[in-house]
Amino acid sequence: MPPKVEFEVSRLVNEFCHLSVLYADLMPQQLATGILRNKAYQERNWRLREDAVRLELQRISPFSSDSEWYRFTAGLMKRNQSGNFESMSTHSHFVEFFQDLRQRHATGFDEIWKETRPRLTEYQYDFLTQWAPISDKVLSRLHTLARSHWQTEKIRVRYIDCLYGGFGWNDSIGLTAVPDMNIQKKLLAHELSELITPQQITREELRKAGLDPEIAHTVVDMLAYFSVREFLATPDPPNREKKGLRPNPSSYPAADVLFPVFEHYAEDPSIYPDFSNFVQDMILFLQPLPNGMITKMLAPAPF
Return d(Cα 213, Cα 207) in angstroms, integer.
Answer: 6
* 247-267: pLDDT as tens digits: 999 999 999 999 999 999 999
**Could you give the maximum distance between any two Cα atoms of the chain, in Å?**
70
Per-residue pLDDT at 241 exceeds 70 = no
Confidence of residue 1 (pLDDT cuts 50, 70, 90): confident
pLDDT at residue 100 tops 60: yes
Segment 152-182, tens digit of pLDDT: 999 999 999 999 999 999 999 999 999 999 9
Q: What is the mean pLDDT of residues 42-60?
A: 96
Domain ranges of the chain: 4-172, 198-298
Q: Which of the 8 DSSP states describes residue 97?
A: H
Q: Give the helix/strand (H/E) hosting 155.
A: strand 154-159
Question: Mean pLDDT over residues 274-280, rounded?
Answer: 95
Q: What is the DSSP letter of 85?
A: B
Mean local confidence (pLDDT), 14-36? 96
For residue 17, pLDDT over 90 is answered with yes
Burial 151-162 (b: 16+ CB within 10 A, else e): eeeebbbbbbbb
Q: How far apart are CA 128 and CA 123, in angstroms?
A: 9
- Average pLDDT value for residue range 189-201: 97
pTM for this structure?
0.90
